[in-house]
Structure formats: structure tokens, C-alpha cells
Amino acid sequence: MTSLLFGLAVAVIWASSAMTASRSSRSVGTLPTLSWVMIVGITITVPLAAIAGRPENLDGAAIGWLTLAGVMNVAGLGLSYAAFAKGHVGVVAALVSTEGALAAVISVAAGERPGWLTLAALAVVTGGVVLVAAGPGTPGRDGTPRSRRPAILLALAAAAVFAVNLFAAGKAADAVPATWVALPTRLIGVALLLSALPFGFRPGRFGRPLYWAGATGVLEVAGLICFAYGARDSIAVTSVVASQFSALAAVLAFFLYRERLVKRQVFGIAAIALGVGVVAGVA
């Protein structure tokens, strides 16, 4: 049940993050958004990690998982923000959310054995995500036409990278406090930012509309911490339940950005809800 509850919390947080990230990426660009997400994130994660103290089980393996999770998270965020800048929130979020199913496949291959009913429910959730992504793209509220193909390719790449990130974060969460799981990403991201400064890159002066990037930074940290708590119980269940953020993002995009839902997307959202309900019953 722990994995289910925290998976649902992650879904809500990531759906909100999709809204703020898309707003920022379309306004100021991918790199400034990513930079401020890292800057805001590190101001949160360093104090939290300090409060938690140095983990007793921080050995070579744990450091390796944390490093892998950090690198993959930075790469995944960059790819997803680029996708949000080019495509529709509902479609991009749906494709990125397949990270959960991919992470579940990785965890099963690595030895985790959820029951057959859980696996069937995860398959239903994955099918629902596909239906949500299959809906045609339509202009948002600003009427700006966007090509689907670049956004789809970027979103799929982000999903693959995030799947490795989720699995590594879940493994790291077995050895370190949940607050430490979010720290490596921010350290790596800020290190990359500092290394780019001598070459003329500037993240931009913080202010409107970079407030959206700041909000995204807070939400990303909260999502990773919640995921780490849930993954201690089950990486597979937490990952796939969290993937329902795509359905929530599609609904939010409809109300906030006037991105329309077609029948296939409605059926996809229903399938995701059904699959999550089954997971809840057997978790």
C-alpha cells in the first residue's frame, strides 16, 4: 500500500510539474528552464540532506546508484523540457510517463516479482498511456502550430532515460534517506551549469516567467522524494502508478491550455484509472 500511496502522490506532483515546465520551456527555452530547476532544487536538497545526516550505508554501490540516477535525471529533464517546448503537454506527458512501465520491466528483469494480477494491471495502464498519446495534436490556446514528430522523439528518449533513473533511484533508496536521492541530480546539474559559464552560457535573470522554472524545481524535488519512499516497498508498483500523471496532465492541459481530448484519449484515461484501481486492490 505504501508504494501505491506514494505513487499517486508522485503522479499529482509530476502532472503539476508538466504544467509549469511546459510554461517555462515555451517562454524562455529549455536550457534556462533546466538551469533554474537545478539551482532552485539544490537550495532545497542540500539542507534536507544535511538534516538527514550522512547515511550509514553510503558505500560504493550506493554512490554508484546515486550517480547513475543523477546523470539520468538531468538528461531526462533536459529531453522532456525540450519536448514540452515543441509539442502538446498531454501528448508529451503521456509518452514520458511510459518511464514507469519501462522501469517496471527493468525491475522485473532484475529480480522483482510482482503477482500476475499486478502485471496485468500494469499492462492495462501502459495501454491507456498509449491511447492518450495516440490522440491528434491540436493547437493550444495561443494557436501556435507545433510539429508532433520532434516532440514525440524527444519524449520517447526522455522516457527511456527516466526509466533508468527511476530504477537507479529505487535501488539507492534502499541504502540512503529519501532526501538524499534528489541530491545528486542537483549537484550534477549545477556542476554542468558552472562549467558552461566560462563559455558564455547564462541561465537568465530570475523573474517572470522564470518563476515557472522555480516552481518546477520545487515540484521535481518533491516528486523524487515521494518516489524514493514508495520505491522502498516496490519499484515496479510505484513507477507505474506514478505514470498516471500523464492522464492528469492531459486533463490539466485541456483546462489550462485548451488542448482537446479525443475519444481515444478519454478511453486511455479510463484504462489508466482501471489499472491503478486493480493495483490498489492487490498492493
Give 123-156 as a DSSP string: HHHHHHHHHHHHSPP---TT-----HHHHHHHHH
Q: What is the pLDDT of residue 39?
A: 93
CA distance 132 to 267: 8
Q: What is the pLDDT of residue 244?
A: 80
Q: What is the pLDDT of residue 15?
A: 94
| pTM given for the model | 0.82
CA distance 140 to 91: 12
| DSSP type of residue 135 | S
Write out residues in the chain with pLDDT < 70, as ranges.
104, 112, 114, 133, 135-148, 205-209, 277, 279-283
How far separated are the first and last CA of the chain, in Å rounded?
Answer: 5
CA distance 89 to 96: 10
Give the three cell numbers for residue 185.
Answer: 541530480
Give the three cell numbers for residue 173.
Answer: 533508496
Give the three cell numbers for residue 140.
Answer: 493550444
CA distance 147 to 132: 17
Q: What is the pLDDT of residue 283?
A: 55
- Is the link from the previous residue into 136 a cis peptide, with omega within 30 of 0? no
Q: What is the pLDDT of residue 79?
A: 96
Query: Taking the C-alpha atoms of 168, 172, 177 and 181 in order, what is their torsion angle to the nearest 10 degrees?
Result: -30
| DSSP type of residue 198 | G
Cα–Cα separations (whole angstroms), residue 227 to 40, 60, 113: 19, 22, 19
Is 190 strand, coil or helix? helix
CA distance 166 to 282: 22
Query: Which residues in 36-45 are b (16+ Cβ under 10 Å) and which e?
Result: bbbbbbbebb
Q: What is the pLDDT of residue 21?
A: 94
Q: What is the pLDDT of residue 18?
A: 94
Q: Where are the beta strands (DSSP E) in the chain?
A: none
Q: Which amino acid is at 41?
A: G
Question: Please, what is the average pLDDT of the chain?
Answer: 84
Q: What is the pLDDT of residue 118?
A: 76
Q: Which amino acid is at 188?
A: I
Q: Which of 25, 23, 18, 35 is nearest to 74 (CA)?
A: 35
| Distance of alpha carbon 181 from the chain centroid | 14
